[in-house]
Amino acid sequence: MLAECPQENCTVGTTGQCLLNHEPAATCPHYTALSEALETRGEEELLPEPEQNPSFSSSNTLTEDRLSYLMGGRYCTMVGIVGPPDSGKTAALVSLYLLLSHGRLQGFEYADSRSLMAFDEISRGARRWTGGMPQQMTPHTELSDDRAAGFLHLRIRAAQDNVPVDFLLPDLPGEWSTAMVEESRHDRLAFLERADVIWLMVDGARLASPTQRQGAIHRTKLYLQRLKEFFPDLPRVILVVTRADLGTASEKTLQTILTEGVALGIEITVQAISSFSANAEVPAGTGIAELIEASMGKQANAAVFWPSSSDNIGRAIENVGRGGVEI
């Protein structure tokens, strides 16, 4: 026998003895039906060979479903992070995580995270290196799903009042922001409508460079224009000037960008940061604590992350900011 007999308790498949004492077993009336079934099954094609090997997401960031569950239980401060590739978006997140994990984020302490594996994944290159600072401290962000954003979660407790604040921080490829500016593709950034505050990242070294300054200013203005065009009900915007260890943007340069914000009706404050540092006079992590402080908003009743009604336009969470940090 090639398989078990359909009769209950028959062991002919293992012992060779028919339950009904047929000798040989092939004379059993059930044997014929079973043989025909086996022959038919053998003619059937099994599962087809896949066209390509299945791929699984290497990211441990939170999906939209998990965000909805988390936000349904307590108020969360959502930060929208946009900026061109290599503007320091991921580096800022890694610096924040490392400062918290070592108890060095002044005025704050770590409380919880639902995405520790994701933070571990993006911070590997920054935790251990020899022979001088590498040019690329963090990996280029890539998402397995080209349509949905991935979010990181951090619960931070302020030492001043011991009140924990849940932050949701997207780690997105800079190409998504570029596509918003150059291709008017903003569907993947729809979460900005629910953000409490937006970090607009700009490379401070470019703003400080005489040869790159005008291009960086023009690019930043385009980002502001597109944000206002696609998301009219914008929350507060913090212009995060990265790489402060490599140069300081002049007040005139920053004022040019702030003036554009005023013309568009966007509330903008400025915060310079240095996620990592090649300058002994500017410690790594400079400005990160101030950026977190400026991003905190008033705690309110929890709201649904993705409202079911298409008529609900604008953010589902009311924002009352504490103000930003001017420089």
Higher pLDDT, 183 or 313: 183
Domain boundaries, the chain: 1-54, 64-295
Closest CA to 230 of 269, 262, 270, 198: 198
pLDDT band for position 311 (50/70/90)? very low
First to last CA, the chain: 84
What was the pLDDT predicted at 147? 47
Omega of the bond leading into 24 within 30 degrees of 0 (cis): yes
Residue pLDDT, tens place only, 127-159: 443 444 444 444 444 444 454 568 999 999 998
Residue pLDDT, tens place only, 35-81: 555 455 444 455 565 555 544 344 478 877 788 888 888 899 999 99
Q: How many CB atoms lie within 10 A of CB 157?
A: 15
Burial 287-305 (b: 16+ CB within 10 A, else e): bbbbbbbbbbbeeeeeeeb
Prediction pTM value: 0.69
CATH number 3.40.50.11890 given to 64-295: no
pLDDT band for position 286 (50/70/90)? very high
